[in-house]
A and B are shown apart, each in its own frame.
Chain A
Amino acid sequence: MLTTILSSIRAHAGRLFASALAISLGVAFAVGTLVFTDTLKVAMIQSFAQGDQGIDVAVLPPQTTSPNQPGPGGGDGRSRIIHYLAPGILTQVQGISGVKSASGQLIGAAVILDKSGHPYGGRGTSFGVGVPSDPSFKWIKVLSGTRPTTASQVDLDSNTAATLNLNIGDTISVVGKSGLPQKFQVVGIVSVGLTQAFNGSSIIGFTPREAASVTGQAGFREIDVIAAPGVNQTTLSNRIASILGPNAVVETGATKTFNDENAVIKRANAIGNALLTFAVIAILVASIVIANTFRVLVTQRSRELALLRCLGATRNQVFKAIISESFATGVVASGIGIALGVLVAIGLHGIFGAFRGGGIPSAPIQITVRTLIIGSLVGVVTTVAASILPARSATRVSPLQALRHHSDTSFGGALTVKRLATSVALIAIGVLIIVTNLGANASLPLIAVGGALAFAGLLVFAPLVVRPVMTVLGIPARIFGTTGKLATLNTIRNPSRTASTSAALTIGLALISLFSVISSSLNASIDSTIAKNFPFDFVVTTALRGTTVPSSIATSASKTNLFKYVNEVRSGQAVVNGKNQDVSGVTPVLLSQSQLTITSGSLANFGASGTAVISSSLAHSLHVKVGETIAISGGLSTATALPPPSTTTVVAISNNLAFLSNLVIPVIDFAPRFPGVGDDELFLTAKPSVTLVQARAQLQKEIDPYPLVTSQDIGTFESNLSNKIGQILALFTALLALALLISFIGIANTLTLSVVERTRELGLLRSLGLTRPYVATMLALEGMLLAVMGAVLGIAIGVAASWGIVLVLNAQGVTVFSVPISLLIVDVVVAALAGILASLIPARRAAKTPPVVALATEV
Chain B
Amino acid sequence: MATFQPKIEYDNAVATYNAVKIYGKIGSESAVTALNGVSLEVPLGQFLAVMGPSGSGKSTLLHCMAGLDNLTSGNVVIGSTNLNGLSDRQLTRLRRNSIGFMFQSFNLLPTLTAEQNIRLPSDLAGSSVDEKWFTTLIDLLGIRDRLKHRPSELSGGQQQRVAAARALLSKPTVVFADEPTGNLDSKAGALLLGFLRSSVHEHGQTIVMVTHDPNAASFADKAVLLADGQIIHSIESPTQKSVLEALETLGT
Contact = CB atoms under 8 A, between A and B. Distances in A.
B23 interface: no
A8 B125 CA distance: 19
A4 B109 contact: yes
A312 B125 contact: yes
A3 B59 CA distance: 32
Contacts of B103: 402-403
A400 B63 contact: yes
Given A311-B101, A314-B92, A400 B120 contact: no
B112 A7 contact: yes
Given A314-B89, A399-B68, A858 B124 contact: no
Contacts of A311: 95-96, 101, 120-121, 124, 166
A403 to B, nearest CB: 6
B68 A304 contact: no
Interface string A369-404: 000000000000000000000000000001110110
A8 B68 contact: no
Given A3-B123, A311-B120, A312-B96, A403 B178 contact: yes
Nearest to B101: A310
Contacts of B105: 405, 858
B100 to A, nearest CB: 9
A805 interface: no
Interface residues of A, number: 26
A273 to B, nearest CB: 44
Given A1-B123, A10-B111, A403-B59, A858 B106 contact: yes
A303 B69 CA distance: 16
A310 B68 CA distance: 8
Interface in A274-325: 303-304, 307-315, 317
Interface string A63-80: 000000000000000000
A405 B105 CA distance: 9
* Residues of B contacting A: mostly: helix
B154 to A, nearest CB: 12
Most A C-beta atoms less than 10 A away, residue of B63, B106, B116, B126: B106
A400 B116 contact: no
Most-contacted residue by chain A among B69, B96, B123 (CB, 10 A): B123
Question: Chain A interface secondary structure, helix, strand, loop or mixed?
Answer: helix
A811 interface: no
Contacts of B123: 1, 3-4
A11 B88 CA distance: 29
Contact of B92 (A3, A10, A312, A403): A312
B110 interface: yes
Given A1-B123, A400-B69, A402-B103, A307 B89 contact: no
Nearest to A315: B88
A399 to B, nearest CB: 5
A310 B101 CA distance: 8
Interface string B91-109: 0110111000101011101
A398 B103 CA distance: 16
Contacts of A317: 124
Given A1-B124, A317-B124, A307 B68 contact: no
Nearest to A10: B111
B46 to A, nearest CB: 22
Contact of B111 (A11, A309, A314): A11
Nearest to B103: A403
Contacts of A314: 89, 92, 124
Contacts of B63: 400, 403
Contact of B95 (A1, A7, A312): A312
A1 B96 CA distance: 14
B235 to A, nearest CB: 26
A1 B109 CA distance: 13
A402 B68 CA distance: 10
B30 to A, nearest CB: 18
A159 to B, nearest CB: 59
Contact of B68 (A11, A303, A308, A403): A403
Contacts of A858: 105-106, 110
A4 B125 CA distance: 13
A10 B150 CA distance: 14
Contacts of A304: 109-111
Interface in A313-354: 313-315, 317
A320 to B, nearest CB: 11
A4 B120 contact: yes
B216 to A, nearest CB: 18
- Of A11, A308, A309, A314, chain B has the most CB atoms within 10 Å of the CB of A314
Interface string B219-234: 0000000000000000
Interface centre among A307, A309, A310, A315 (most CB of B within 10 A): A310
A613 B178 CA distance: 91
Nearest to B94: A312
**Most chain A beta carbons < 10 A, residue from B93, B101, B105:** B101
A399 B63 CA distance: 10
Contacts of B69: 400
Given A4-B120, A4-B123, A312-B124, A399 B178 contact: no
Interface in A423-445: none
Interface string B118-135: 001101111000000000
A282 to B, nearest CB: 32
A821 to B, nearest CB: 51
A303 B103 CA distance: 12
A54 to B, nearest CB: 68
5 residue pairs, one from A and one from B, having the closest CB atoms: A312-B96, A11-B111, A7-B111, A311-B121, A313-B124
Given A311-B96, A399-B68, 13 more contacts: A3-B123, A4-B120, A7-B111, A7-B112, A310-B101, A311-B120, A312-B95, A312-B121, A312-B124, A313-B124, A399-B95, A403-B59, A403-B63
15 contacts: A4-B120, A7-B111, A7-B116, A8-B109, A10-B111, A11-B111, A310-B95, A310-B101, A311-B121, A312-B125, A314-B124, A315-B89, A403-B68, A403-B178, A858-B105
Interface of A: 1, 3-4, 7-8, 10-11, 303-304, 307-315, 317, 398-400, 402-403, 405, 858
